[in-house]
Structure 1
Amino acid sequence: MIERKEITNRRFMTGFELEYTNEAVTIGEGSLDSFVLPAVEFELYYDTEMPVLHDLYIVEDGEGYDYRLLVTYLGGDTLAFYDQVGKLFHRLMTIKTMPDGFYGGDFVYINKFTPKEVNDGEAQSRGKEA
Structure 2
Amino acid sequence: MIERKTVQNRRYMTGFELEHTDKAVSIGEGSLDSFALPSVEFDLYYDSTMPVLHDLYIVEGEEGYDYRLLVTYLGGDTIAYYDQDSKLFHRLMTVQTTPDGAYRGEYVFLEPREIEVIDDGKVESNSETT
Q: TM-score if structure 2 supplies the norm length?
A: 0.92
Q: How many residues align?
A: 125
Letter in 2 for 1:78: T
Structure 2 alignment gaps of length 5 or more: 125-129
Distance (Å, rounded) in 1 between the aligned partners of 2:111 and 2:37: 16
Q: How is 1:40-55 mapped onto 2 (pairs within 5 angstroms)?
A: 40-55=40-55
Provide the secondary structure at the position in 2 that maps to 1:119.
coil
Q: CA deviation at 1:78?
A: 0.1
Q: Do the aligned partners of 2:46 and 2:98 also contact (CA within 8 Å) in 1?
A: yes
Q: TM-score if structure 1 supplies the norm length?
A: 0.92
Q: How is 1:107-118 mapped onto 2 (pairs within 5 angstroms)?
A: 107-118=107-118
Letter in 2 for 1:91: R
Question: Which residue number corresponds to residue 10 of structure 2?
Answer: 10
Letter in 2 for 1:100: D
1:92-116 deviations in Å (ceiling 9; x for gaps): 0000000000100000000001211
1:59-100 deviations in Å (ceiling 9; x for gaps): 001111000000000000000000012110100000000000
Question: Which residue number corresponds to residue 25 of structure 2?
Answer: 25
Farther-moved stretch of structure 1 (112-121 vs 43-52): 112-121
Q: Spell out structure 1 runs of 4+ moving beyond 3 A.
A: 121-124
Structure 1 alignment gaps of length 5 or more: 125-129
Computed over aligned residues only, the root mean square deviation of the Cα atoms, in angstroms, reads 1.5
Distance (Å, rounded) in 2 between the aligned partners of 1:62 and 1:86: 9
Distance 1:81 1:56, change over 3 A: same
